[in-house]
Amino acid sequence: MAKLDGLTIFVPFAVPGDIVDVEVYKRKHGYAEANLLAVRKPSPDRVVPPCGHFGVCGGCKWQMLDYSKQLAYKQKQVEDNFKHLGKFEFPELMPIIGAEKQYYYRNKLEYTFSTMRWLSYDDLRRYEDGEFYEQRCLGFHVPGMFDKVLDIEHCWLQAAPSNDIRLFCREYALTHNLAFYNPREQKGLLRNIIIRTASTGDLMLVMVITDLNEKTRDMMQAIADRFPEITSLVYVVNTKMNDAIFDLPFHLFKGQDFIMEEMEGLQFKVGPKSFYQTNSTQAYNLYKVARDFADIHPDDVVYDLFTGTGTIANFVARRAKRVVGIEYVDTAVEDAKINSAQNHIDNTEFVAGDMAKIFTDSFIKEHGKPDVIISDPPRAGMHPNVIEQLLKLEVPRIVYVSCNPATQARDLTLLNEKYKVTAVQPVDMFPHTHHVENVVKLQLRG
């Protein structure tokens, strides 16, 4: 953010302390938005981004900022949200837990096949000069453009062999003239690939195609032959006009239809539809904080709201008398039950349903009053009905895990009527982005 003659100007990819040239492309009452043209004098906090796609790709928008400063700004983001959006007292924030791995930390990436490759200015000039360019590509959607895809040469987000798999898929498809998908014409054979890795060494590749035929079978066999480390090769046929695939059946081509993730001796089954925190290492740190804040005793009944595939529920079960997980997605609940069974955990119970509708007095009566509640809601935060029930229950401790400090501050303000914030721990799950996770401990007022 810059200020010029009283006008606030938002400049993406600039660093506080930079002296820059900018081009304003949008101006409204009181503020403007601008593109960064040149850095005349770099900030001491500016670093050289390692990624050749930086600035065009939609991810890693903070690569130009020193990582220690990224952590400082994320910590400040939590504090500012609590100060300006919340109306409650809170203690000094604990120092943010930074990521040991700042690159190659994601365990899941999705790439798109397209005939509408994003062209740089140099590409456009060569095109205007009559040079041939390859329109088919495999990469990420350019922000704000559903039909433009940036061809990715090297991504710094996922460890090997992720880049090699993507490059092989692209080259195979080009060499064998397989049709890349055209989003405007809704035509093409190849739509997406999804790569999932695990700390156990397991590796899943999901192929999204519009038809299972000889060409796609040959391609999947070629991938399996080239990368024997792929332990799960799955495909889904999507002929719809949108990219949503979770309502479609997934089919196994080779290996198992899942990969296994491990955390503190626990094994978690991750299928092609399963949700699992995309930064496995930092997820472990996040869950340890939540478990410590929960201060669970052997006779405690724990409720895990928005439990997903039951990762937190199973993670804390060994310290509790019983854990009840609630989740909206039926398939996630089934995964949670499987995860408990394969880890020989017999004190968990998982219930599927809309949290705002089923978290009622009758639910509490049926499943028992909790002593501790852990809540990890989506970015929108908790529904007012859930807040109301929490205030009614008056459990001794609540642990609130959030990926959005703004909605967390709103909910904490509502809970402030009966609960006091006693600890705040930010965690950096996604280096080089503005996103930050935050864990808050609440104790019932005496």
Closest CA to 180 of 192, 194, 168: 192
Report how far residue 421's alpha carbon sits from residue 415's, in angstroms, rounded to the nearest whole number: 9
Distance separating alpha carbons of residues 109 and 194, to the nearest angstrom: 6
- The Cα 415–Cα 409 span in angstroms is 10
Alpha helices, H only, 65-133: 67-85, 121-128
What is the chain's percent helix, strand, coil content, to nearest 5?
30, 30, 45
**How far is the C-alpha of 226 from the C-alpha of 220, rounded, in Å?**
10
Q: State residue 324 phi and psi, 5-degree precision.
A: -115, 120
Is 169 considered catalytic here? no
H or E element in which residue 409 lies: helix 405-415
Neighbours of 281 (CB within 10 A): 16
Assigned token pair, 319: 């310290």
Indicate the burial class of 72 (C-beta count within 10 angstroms; 0-12, 13-18, 19 or more): middle
Helix count (H) and strand count (E) of the chain? Answer: 11, 20
Q: Give the integer Cα–Cα distance in Å for 274 and 409.
A: 29
- Catalytic-role residue among 60, 155, 169, 403: 403
Distance in Å from the first CA to the final CA of the chain: 44
User: In whole angstroms, what is the distance from residue 371 CA to residue 350 CA?
Assistant: 17
Q: Which residues are tagged catalytic? A: 403
